[in-house]
Structure 1
Amino acid sequence: MPSASDRTTGRPGGRPAARDRIATKRAAEKARQEQARKRRARLVTGSVVAAIVAVIVVVAIIVQSARTDTADAATPATVAEGTGGAGFATGPADAPVTIDVYEDYLCPACRAFEEVAGDALDQLAAEGEALVRYRPVAILDRLSADDYSTRAANAAAVVADAAGVETFLEFSDLLFANQPAEGGPGLSDQELVSLAAQAGATGADVETGIRELRFGDWVARVTDQASQEGLTGTPTVLVNGEPLAVPTAEALLAAVQAATE
Structure 2
Amino acid sequence: MSKKNTPRLPDVSAEGRQPARSRREEMERLMAERKQQERRRSIRVQALVGALVVVLVVGVTVVVLATRGSDEPAAVPPGLTSDGAIRFGAADATVTVQAVEDFQCPACQQFEAALGSTLAEYRASDDVAVEYRPIAFLDNASSTEYASRALNASMCVLADAGADAWMAMHESLYAQQPAEGTAGLDDATLASMAVDAGADEDAVGPCITDRRYDDWIQQHTDDVMSSGVSSTPTVSVNGTQVEAAQLASAVEAARS
Q: Same fold (TM over 0.5)?
A: yes
Correspondence for 2:193:
195
Per-residue deviation at 1:203?
Answer: 2.3
Q: Give the letter aligned to residue 232 of structure 1.
A: S
Residue identity (%):
38
Q: Does 1:253 align with 2:254?
A: no
Residues 1-261 of structure 1 aligned to structure 2 (within 5 Å): 72-80=73-81, 83-84=82-83, 86-245=84-243, 247-248=244-245, 251-261=246-256
Specify the SS of the correspondent of 2:122. helix
Maintained 8 Å contact 2:191/2:201: no
| CA displacement, residues 140-185 of structure 1 (integer Å, 9 cap, x when unaligned) | 1011000000000011111011100010000000000000000111
Task: Find the residue that maps to 1:121 and give its secondary structure.
Answer: helix
What stretches of structure 2 of length at least 5 have no aligned partner? 1-65
Cα RMSD (Å) of the superposition?
1.7
Asked if the contact 1:92/1:125 (under 8 Å) is kept, the reply is: no
Q: Taking structure 1 as the reference length, what is the TM-score of the superposition? A: 0.69
Aligned pair count?
A: 188
- Structure 1: segments with no counterpart, 5+ residues: 1-64
Superposition misfits of 4+ residues, deviation over 6 angstroms: none
Deviations 1:28-74 (A, max 9, x none): xxxxxxxxxxxxxxxxxxxxxxxxxxxxxxxxxxxxx9xx89x9421
Q: Give the drift of 1:204.
A: 1.3
Deviation at 1:260, TM superposition (A): 2.0
